[in-house]
Structure 1
Amino acid sequence: MRKFSTFQITLMSLLIALLIIQTYVPITIFPGAPTITVGHIIVAIGAILLGPGGGLLLGTVWGGLSFIRALTMPPSPLSVLLFTNPVIAFIPRMLVGWTVGWLFKHLRQKIKTTSLLAGAVAFVGTFLNTGLVVLFTYLFFVRDPAALLKAFGQASSTTGLFWLIAIMLGANFVTEAITAVIITPLVTTPTLHIIDRRHR
C-alpha cells in the first residue's frame, strides 16, 4: 500500500480545505442553474501534483461535499434534483480526479511543456465533469422530466430536454473551462518544479 509523504498529506489537507470553502461560496450565472464551481480546478491541481490516486480521493471528497450541500443548503432547486442523486454527485467528480491524474502521469514524458499539458488535462477534466453530469441527468430524468423542467422554469414538454440541460450546464462549462485552463498551470507548473528539485 502506497504511503503518502508529509508534504503530500499537507497538500491534500489544504486542497480538501479549499474544496470545503468553495462548496459554501457558490456562484450562479443563471437563476435556477447549477452554481459555477472551482472544485474542478482544485481537483485537477491535486491530481496533477499527487497522481491519479490523490485525484480520485479529492474527486470523492468533492462529490461528497456536493451531495451534502444539496441535502442541507441547496443553492438552487436544480441542485437539489441533480446532486442529491449519488450517481450524479459522485461519479463525474471521481472520474475527473482519476482521469486528470492518469493523463498527466502518462503524457508527461511525451509532452515536455508542463504548463501546456496541465492546461490540457484540466480542460479534459472540466469537459468530463460537465459531460457526465449532462449525460446522467438526461438518463435519470428522460422518462419523467416534469420536475427537472420546472426547476429550469420550462413547461412540461419533453421536447429538447437533452439540449436544454446541455445549454444550461454548458454556459457554466465555458466559464469553468477557461478558469481551469488558466489557473491550473499557474499553480502546478512552479509547484512541480519545486517537487522535482526536492527529489533530485
Structure 2
Amino acid sequence: MRKFSTFQITLMSLLIALLVIQTYVPITIFPGAPTITVGHIIVAIGAILLGPSGGLVLGTVWGGLSLLRAFTAPPSPLSVLLFTNPVIALVPRMVVGWSVGWLYQKFQKRIRIPALLASITAFIGTFLNTGLVVLFTYLFFVKNPTILLRDFGQASSTTGLFWLITIMLGANFITEAVTAVVLTPLVVTPMQRIVSRRHK
C-alpha cells in the first residue's frame, strides 16, 4: 500500500471522523428498513482525492463502524441480521472504496469533466455497495430464509427472501444513488483544487 503525505493523512483523518459521526446519526425511509447512510459519499470523496489505497482504508473503516453499530446500537432489525456478519458489513464497503478510486484514476484521461466523472464513479460505488450487500445476504440466508423473513411477516421461501432483500435495500439504493451523484462532485471539485495546490 502506498505511503500517504501528512496532508493526505490529515484529510483521511477528517473523513474518518465524518464516517464516525454519520454512523451514529442514522436516517431511515420507513420502519424496519436499514438506515440510509452518507458513508458511501464520504468514502467516494476520499477514494477520488486519495486514490484506491485511501479509498480502501476508508471503506474498511466504514465497514468496521457498520459492524460495531450493528452489535452495540442497531438502528433496525434488518441491520442486526445483516451487519453483524463481518462479510456483509466489511467486504462491500472495502470494494466500494478501492473501486471508486481505481475507476476515477482509470477514466480520468477519457472523461475530461471531473464533476461528471465523480458523479459516475460515485454512482457505481453506490451500486456496488447495495449489490454486494444483496448478494451476500442472499447467499448467507438462502438455506434458512425463515430467520430473516419472519421479522417481516413473509413466507419462508427463497423467492420471498430475494424480493424482500431487493425491495428493502433497493429503496435505500435509489436515495443513496441520487445523493451520491449530486453531492460527490459538489464536494470533490473544490477539494481537488486544494489537493492539487498542496502537491505543487
Length-normalised TM-score, structure 1? 0.96
Kept after mapping to 2: 8 A contact 1:33/1:152:
no
1:163 aligns with 2:167: no
**Secondary structure of the corresponding residue to residue 110 of structure 2:** coil
Gaps of 5+ in 2: none
Post-superposition CA distance 1:79-100 (Å, at most 9, x none) = 1110010100000000000000
**Secondary structure of the corresponding residue to residue 2 of structure 2:** coil
Identity across the alignment (%): 78
In the TM superposition, what is the alpha-carbon distance from 1:113 to its structure 2 partner? 0.1
In the TM superposition, what is the alpha-carbon distance from 1:77 to its structure 2 partner? 1.1
Length-normalised TM-score, structure 2? 0.96
> Which residue of 2 is the match for residue 58 of structure 1?
58
Runs of 4+ in 1 over 4 A off after TM superposition: none
Post-superposition CA distance 1:37-81 (Å, at most 9, x none) = 000000000000000000000000000000000011111111111
Give the AA of the match of 2:153.
Answer: G
Kept after mapping to 2: 8 A contact 1:70/1:84:
yes
Gaps of 5+ in 1: none
Give the AA of the match of 1:25.
Answer: V
In the TM superposition, what is the alpha-carbon distance from 1:160 to its structure 2 partner? 3.1
1:31 aligns with 2:31: yes
Query: Aligned pairs, how many?
Result: 200
Post-superposition CA distance 1:10-61 (Å, at most 9, x none) = 1100000000000001111121111100000000000000000000000000
Kept after mapping to 1: 8 A contact 2:154/2:160:
no
Post-superposition CA distance 1:100-147 (Å, at most 9, x none) = 000001111111100000000000000000000000000100110011
RMSD between superposed Cα atoms in Å:
1.2
- What is the CA–CA distance in structure 2 between the aligned matches of 1:154 and 1:63, rounded to whole Å? 28
Give the AA of the match of 1:132.
Answer: L
In the TM superposition, what is the alpha-carbon distance from 1:162 to its structure 2 partner? 1.1
1:14 aligns with 2:26: no
> Which residue of 1 is the match for residue 181 of structure 2?
181
